[in-house]
Structure 1
Amino acid sequence: MPDSIDSVLKKKLEFVFEKYNKRSLVQPDPLQFLYQYSDVRDREIVALIASSLAYGRVAQILKAVEKVLAPMGKSPREYLCLEDHHAMVKSFESFKYRFATGAHVIDLLSGIREVVTRYGSLEACFAHGESGEDSSVVPALSFFTRQIKGERNIGHLMADPAKGSACKRSCLFLRWMVRKDAVDPGGWTCVPASRLMIPLDTHMHNAGRMLGFTKRKQANMKTVREITQGFARLCPDDPVKYDFSLTRFGIHPDMDIHDLENLIQIQ
């Protein structure tokens, strides 16, 4: 794509960002739960729980996340560090959300607790898997996922990018925790935004094709890399900058995907 077209496209995306990257447009979105936690060590746990359950209809996602967070009180970190395992099992054994059972959630929370105990925080664990030579978060994310999973059965709540998965929910988790603006609350400093990967859902996949960043139909890590590289041409320091504003079209009840197509069309 010639530089002149890139320049025009970036102006269009900046217009969309300025108009739609607003906290007033967040609801309904599991991201809204993160705003309730000022302590980053609580927020990172909430973010991992909320992102892990971020599949299906958004109204049901919100109900599922709320059910998991309710027993954990004001400080999920304190809950995980202090709660007796038997009591935790009792709180979540009846949980059910689509493919996720109470057993999966209990194992996920147990994995989080073990990582926090061993490394001090989820961020410290992720940083342990980081290398200054990595061009993306994929190696560190793979390490992080393996530490959470261990020998536990967390079902499909977290996917390993080393196996080719698009890891949409993990990429979403990282966007929330690394970026900081009107929408993303941030809190992590161990990862530069330049290494983030696009959370590839149906809406971003459609946007990526509209923008000419990919022709791929399969939503896998190869497609994630192609679309992320497209955005990186325009915004190398923050390739996922436009994710929230672009994916509002099709998610927010008052915003239609066809409106986005009209806004970003390149003649």
Structure 2
Amino acid sequence: MTGKSLVRYFDKSYLEHLYEQYNDRKFIHPDPLEFLYNYPDLREREVVGIIASSLAYGQVKQILRSVSGILNVLGSRPSGFLKKVTLEELKSVFSNFKHRFTNDKELAVFLSNIGAILRKYGSLNFCFMKSYNKEHDIIPALLSFTRELRAGECDCYNSLVPLPTGKCAYKRLNLFLRWMVRKDNVDIGGWDNIPTSKLIIPLDVHMYRIALEHKLTERKQADMTSAVQITNSFKKFCPEDPVKYDFALTRLGMKSHYLINLERKHK
């Protein structure tokens, strides 16, 4: 069975089958989302979520190790810690930190900016909502949130927070939003003031491969335009929650069972 012959089976019935099969917490590990389950308080959970999602690049073992190390320092109330700590103190306590391209200074500035947001707005959600308009898509609010996370930085490369140009796919920030807005067996939710219909697919290499194979986009770049196109394609299957199948599909892709399972189901 070729990739092209499988296209006709990529429908709502198949996606619902995958969702029922894979959208379960037993498939979470190893995924940085698992850290959020330890924080029942929403304001703590959103801080953990932005840290975990921003570091979600590179090898998964290193991601879990890096996030765990940071959270051990921040303690049981990371929001309270970050609201009180200074940038210099953060530089000192994380002086030996290294996560792939992210060094100690970059992490310290990132955490300091989270603390500044918490002091200014009270929560990450309040910060995000200041630019959110229910009549429009979520991109303007996403870019405004990005600017807050990069406050005081030059317009240069940052391994944790991309430039607010709207050009890249913003995979990690869209992943954070998926975690915080959706609520089911996997995504823990909490941001109830944003409808799931506004979410954009967190476009990683696994989802991009699936999208190209099934003509959800024909763009040759995994950028924001592609992410929106793919999201709109998924809206044909589930308009109220286009990101619903993200976890199940990417889990299947990462486990290299995608074509095998699809063939078995439709023999």
TM-score (norm 2): 0.91
Aligned to 1:66: 68
State the 1:192 CA deviation. Answer: 1.0
More displaced 10-residue stretch of structure 1: 183-192 or 156-165: 156-165
- Aligned mates of 1:190, 1:261 — CA distance in 2: 36
State the 1:206 CA deviation. Answer: 1.3
State the 1:155 CA deviation. Answer: 1.8
Aligned to 1:158: 161
Q: One-letter code of the match for 1:11?
A: S
Aligned to 2:3: none
Aligned to 1:172: 175
* Structure 2 CA distance for partners of 1:59 and 1:257, relative to 1, 3 Å: farther
Q: Does 1:149 align with 2:145?
A: no
Contact 1:141/1:160, CA 8 A, preserved across alignment: no
Contact 2:171/2:204, CA 8 A, preserved across alignment: yes
The one of 198, 202, 208 equivalent to 1:199 is 202
Contact 1:138/1:162, CA 8 A, preserved across alignment: no
* Structure 2 CA distance for partners of 1:85 and 1:215, relative to 1, 3 Å: closer
Per-residue Cα deviation, 1:74-96 (whole angstroms, up to 9, x for no partner): 11011112334443221112211
Aligned to 1:77: 79
Aligned to 1:12: 14
Unaligned runs of 5+ in 1: none
- Aligned mates of 2:140, 2:62 — CA distance in 1: 32
More displaced 10-residue stretch of structure 1: 210-219 or 19-28: 210-219
Contact 1:126/1:144, CA 8 A, preserved across alignment: yes
More displaced 10-residue stretch of structure 1: 198-207 or 216-225: 216-225
Aligned to 2:57, the other structure's residue is in SS state coil
Q: One-letter code of the match for 1:100?
A: T
Q: Does 1:105 align with 2:120?
A: no
Contact 2:87/2:109, CA 8 A, preserved across alignment: no
State the 1:16 CA deviation. Answer: 0.5
TM-score (norm 1): 0.91
- Aligned mates of 1:88, 1:206 — CA distance in 2: 39
- Aligned mates of 1:224, 1:101 — CA distance in 2: 29
- Aligned mates of 2:110, 2:80 — CA distance in 1: 16
* Structure 2 CA distance for partners of 1:263 and 1:175, relative to 1, 3 Å: farther
Q: One-letter code of the match for 2:141?
A: A
* Structure 2 CA distance for partners of 1:189 and 1:88, relative to 1, 3 Å: same
State the 1:264 CA deviation. Answer: 8.2
Contact 1:23/1:182, CA 8 A, preserved across alignment: yes
Alignment: residue pair count: 259
CA RMSD of aligned residues (A): 2.1
- Aligned mates of 1:102, 1:262 — CA distance in 2: 47
- Aligned mates of 1:6, 1:44 — CA distance in 2: 39
Q: Percent identity?
A: 42
Q: One-letter code of the match for 2:77?
A: S
The ranges of structure 1 where at least 4 consecutive aligned residues each deviate by more than 6 angstroms after the TM superposition are 5-8
Aligned to 1:257: 258
